[in-house]
Structure 1
Amino acid sequence: MDQIELVRDFNRYYTRRLGVLGDHYLGLSRPWSESRLLFEIGPDGVDVRELRRRLGLDSGFVSRMLRSLADQGLVEVRPHPQDGRVRVAALTTAGLDARDELDVRARESVGALLGQLTAGQRDRLVAAQEQVRRLLRMATVEISAIPDDSPAARFCLREYAAELDGRFPSGYSESALLRPGELAVTGGEFLVAMEESAPIGCGIWQPLAGEPGSVAEIRHVWISQSCRGLGLGRRLLSELESRAGEQGYRTFRLGTHTALPEAAALYRSHGYREIPLYDLKGYNQLAFEKVLP
């Protein structure tokens, strides 16, 4: 079997083995989809729009499930107290009890599975699941070019600046950031990495001023703390190089600070070699260069 068929075969196996295909998930009177909705609503309730976004479902499907749970006396959907245009789903007392029972049964079901394995096998299974989760997260992240004055771009840059301000001994000033609209003048692109509609990383390439030939500078490479270790930094670098390469750029330079050893390690592992500083005005204490064929 090729890789695609292997993944499909695994998907068929675990959905059947976990019992998510039937109408009586864990022996209860409702399907897995409605049971999952009880978990997502939680004890504090949730904005229905957020519920749809979190689960990646269309409004009609979510509305039908909410009506079914409401008919069972488990959920109430009512206007938001501060904004009547927004609907909020909340569990009733019976819904909270149903969620608790579901939680107990789910733990018992998984516990029964793990109970058939040795301690070492359980450790390997949990580690493998974590690896699968990380790789699937990486596969679903989307990288695209956006205007450098867009809300997502400025959010990423503010997060980048705040982190550097805390890590650099002398702090970091937002005045050193790319200015809104700057790339429209200099050329280049602002790339953002998005996970479930949330910006989680960014990077910029732009022509390096004062350099003859096709030299591009890579700046402001940032990955959210919650997404580090997935390999996203390497993927973002590759995308920046590829997009600049399509515009004829073959030489790339970038700088970093000695307070960011993980950044220097990433650049070295990605084929960059250390060079003398080419920009003495900013915060950079190390400079790197990469030349593509």
Structure 2
Amino acid sequence: METFDLSQRTSVRAEDVAAFRRFNRYFTRRIGVLDDHYLGQARPLGEARLLFEIGDGVSLRELRGRLGLDAGYLSRMAKALEAQGMVRLAVPAHDNRLRMIEPTPAGRAEVAEQQRRADALAAGLLEGLTPAQRAELTGAMATAERLLRLAGITVETVDGASADARACLDAYAADIDARFPEGFDKAALVRPEEVTGDAGAFLVAYEEGRPVGCGALRRLAPGTGEIRHVWVHPGARQLGLARRLLAGLEREALARGLAAVRLDTHAVLTEAQTMYRACGYAEIPRYDDNVYAAHWFEKRLTGRSG
């Protein structure tokens, strides 16, 4: 069994770990996670959650990615639900590599009852609070969800020609094409060789296996790099991910011996300008001929970035 030594994780305080685990124990006990008959129904939480996540129908592959389950464990749960008449498993005609799962009428009825009981449980817990306290709790849970989502996102360096890199750049181009009054020409995107290996870096952020953000670094001049195409999927915005990508690109620049990074941005991207200034970037005169740029920034890097 793998062991973990908290002393090696110097950025995480033992008090924070203890508080997090204490909350987990309390919350899971209060909502009945440990009960083999979750919400009073004849199944444990794992099966109940799986039945809920199936929705109107989905592939087992997508469920694995969404729930982070081992393939064998997921298959056993799916077969158990099938034996109980809750779901149907099938192989679609268009792709014999996929296994699809969908609820039966009995499965749909159980999910509806599960929803009713879950709502009643939540309402019962909230009844003991005043309206102001409920609002405070709702706000705290929204903050917790945002931070946990950010904590669960991984940022990886990928080849600039990889499928994920190009998919992110396509999404970035479509996004800003819709926002720029003059549109955007994809020919202005960085080339794969500019952001791979010694020449630069391309970062992709993944949430539950799906690319949800990117950013690129390329060499601009001796000792200076340029950050390009920092983008976050609309569904992952307001988490703090753009700043995390920016910090990661700065670390990549330091690793390549660059003393400064520059970037430019369009006049309509006011939220990006605000972020860059908050992250230590100072506005400088024009340094390139980018037709889409109206503001230019630079940051001097130190031994520690982010």
TM-score grouping bracket, smaller chain normalisation: over 0.9
Matches within 5 A, 1:49-60: 49-60=61-72
How high is the TM-score relative to the length of structure 1? 0.95
How high is the TM-score relative to the length of structure 2? 0.91
Please give the root-mean-square deviation of Cα atoms over the aligned residues, in Å: 1.5
Alpha-carbon distance, 1:32 to partner: 0.9
Structure 2 equivalent of residue 111 of structure 1: 123
Does 2:87 correspond to 1:46? no
Please point out which of 40, 48, 71 is paired with 2:83. 71
Structure 1, unmatched stretches of 5+, are: none
Structure 2 equivalent of residue 288 of structure 1: 297
Q: Return closer, same or farther for 1:184/1:54 CA change in 2, 3 Å cut-off.
A: closer
Does 2:89 correspond to 1:80? no
Structure 2 equivalent of residue 2 of structure 1: 15
Letter in 2 for 1:37: L
- Greater shift after overlay, 74-83 or 88-97? 74-83
Q: Return closer, same or farther for 1:19/1:255 CA change in 2, 3 Å cut-off.
A: same
Does 2:49 correspond to 1:33? no
Alignment deviations for residues 183-208 of structure 1 (CA, whole Å, 9 cap, x no partner): 35870111111111111111111111
Report the secondary structure of 1:30's partner residue. Answer: coil
Q: 8 Å contact 2:194–2:218 — kept in the other structure?
A: no
Q: 8 Å contact 2:223–2:257 — kept in the other structure?
A: yes
Report the secondary structure of 1:282's partner residue. Answer: coil
Partner Cα separation in structure 1 for residue 195 and residue 282 of structure 2: 26
Structure 2 equivalent of residue 166 of structure 1: 178
Letter in 1 for 2:255: E
Partner Cα separation in structure 1 for residue 235 and residue 23 of structure 2: 27
Q: 8 Å contact 2:205–2:214 — kept in the other structure?
A: yes
- Greater shift after overlay, 109-118 or 179-188? 179-188
Please point out which of 12, 20, 25 is paired with 2:33. 20
Partner Cα separation in structure 1 for residue 47 and residue 117 of structure 2: 15
Q: 8 Å contact 2:215–2:229 — kept in the other structure?
A: yes
Partner Cα separation in structure 1 for residue 50 and residue 58 of structure 2: 11
Alpha-carbon distance, 1:105 to partner: 0.8
Letter in 1 for 2:160: D
Partner Cα separation in structure 2 for residue 84 and residue 267 of structure 1: 48
Structure 2 equivalent of residue 267 of structure 1: 276
Partner Cα separation in structure 2 for residue 284 and residue 128 of structure 1: 39
Letter in 1 for 2:276: Y
Letter in 1 for 2:226: E
Partner Cα separation in structure 1 for residue 104 and residue 155 of structure 2: 41
Q: Percent of aligned positions with the same letter in both sequences?
A: 47
Partner Cα separation in structure 2 for residue 102 and residue 31 of structure 1: 12
Please point out which of 174, 194, 202 is paired with 1:182. 194
Structure 2, unmatched stretches of 5+, are: 1-13
Report the secondary structure of 2:192's partner residue. Answer: coil
Partner Cα separation in structure 1 for residue 296 and residue 97 of structure 2: 53
Partner Cα separation in structure 2 for residue 228 and residue 269 of structure 1: 17
Partner Cα separation in structure 2 for residue 290 and residue 166 of structure 1: 29
Does 2:289 correspond to 1:276? no
Q: 8 Å contact 1:25–1:31 — kept in the other structure?
A: yes
Partner Cα separation in structure 2 for residue 196 and residue 237 of structure 1: 21
- Greater shift after overlay, 228-237 or 184-193? 184-193
Report the secondary structure of 1:2's partner residue. Answer: helix
Please point out which of 214, 230, 239 is paired with 2:239. 230
Partner Cα separation in structure 2 for residue 142 and residue 185 of structure 1: 20
Structure 1 equivalent of residue 266 of structure 2: 257
